Amino acid sequence: MSFGQIFAIVLATFVAMEFVAWSSHKYIMHGWGWGWHRDHHEPHDHTLEKNDLYGLVGAAMSISMFAIGSPLVLGASAWEPGTWIGLGILLYGIVYTLIHDGLIHQRYFRWVPKRGYAKRLVQAHKLHHATIGKEGGVSFGFVFARDPVVLKQELKAQREAGIAVVREALG
């Protein structure tokens, strides 16, 4: 494979992982997988959360793709794009961990952005945490954040429709 093909696969996988993360967050974590995700939405003083188990699921996806692409594992049956898909998943996981756990939830470092896209990410995720329970909510993505003004309007509409219980006044 050429460098261009490899780069395209890694980049496409990275972008696709935001959709996988968004849909998993909305329909699994806030659905039947709420048991693992609940502690992420509730105050606690633990270093680890059950929610961190979802990171192991992502790691298993990446490792599986590396294995599918590895001649050492599958010999002549190896599928080379698997390696690069695994790398795209791994890179997304690293960026997710730095942004979500590090920047937004301040688990690894303390920095509160005052402007720019980093501030938008923090605001969008805080609005995600503005609801109580698994129902309703906004901003289920992790790397690409929508306009917080629009998200506030959506939360207000959900509250008025009785879809979501909102934790705080939205201004």
Q: What is the pLDDT of residue 58?
A: 97
Q: Which of 80, 111, 142 is the last residue of a domain?
A: 111
What is the percent of the chain where pLDDT is above 90?
78
Q: What are the pLDDT digits (tens) for 15-71?
A: 999 999 999 999 999 999 999 999 999 988 888 999 999 999 999 999 999 999 999
Say yes or no: 106 and 142 in one domain: no
List, in sequence order, every residue forming a beta bridge with 58; answer none if it has no partner. Answer: none
* Region 149-159 average pLDDT: 94
Say yes or no: 148 and 129 in one domain: yes
Higher-pLDDT residue of 81, 75: 81
Say yes or no: 65 and 27 in one domain: yes
Say yes or no: 103 and 20 in one domain: yes
Say yes or no: 9 and 33 in one domain: yes
Q: What is the mean pLDDT of the chain?
A: 93
Please report which helix (H) or strand (E) contains residue 39, including its range.
none
Q: Please provide residue 143's backbone torsions phi and psi, each rounded to the nearest 5 degrees.
A: -110, -35
Banded pLDDT at 74 (limits 50, 70, 90):
confident
Number of folded domains that form the chain: 2
Q: What domain range is 166 assigned to?
A: 112-171
Say yes or no: 79 and 32 in one domain: yes
The rounded distance, in Å, linking the Cα atoms of 1 and 136 is 44
Candidate from 64-68, 73-77, 144-148 with smallest mean pLDDT: 73-77
Say yes or no: 135 and 158 in one domain: yes
Say yes or no: 16 and 75 in one domain: yes
The type of residue at 151 is L
Q: What is the pLDDT of residue 113?
A: 92
Q: Which of 91, 111, 131 is the last residue of a domain?
A: 111
Say yes or no: 26 and 102 in one domain: yes
Q: Which of 96, 111, 126 is the last residue of a domain?
A: 111
Q: What is the pLDDT of residue 43?
A: 86
Burial 18-57 (b: 16+ CB within 10 A, else e): beebbebbeeebbeebeebbbebbeeeeeeebebeebeee
Say yes or no: 121 and 93 in one domain: no
- Give 146: exposed, middle or buried? Use CB within 10 Å, 0-12, 13-18, 19+: middle
Say yes or no: 21 and 10 in one domain: yes
Say yes or no: 81 and 124 in one domain: no
Banded pLDDT at 169 (limits 50, 70, 90):
low
Cα radius of gyration rounded to whole Å, the chain: 18
Q: What is the pLDDT of residue 87?
A: 98
Q: What is the pLDDT of residue 148?
A: 95
Decide if pLDDT at 167 tops 90.
no
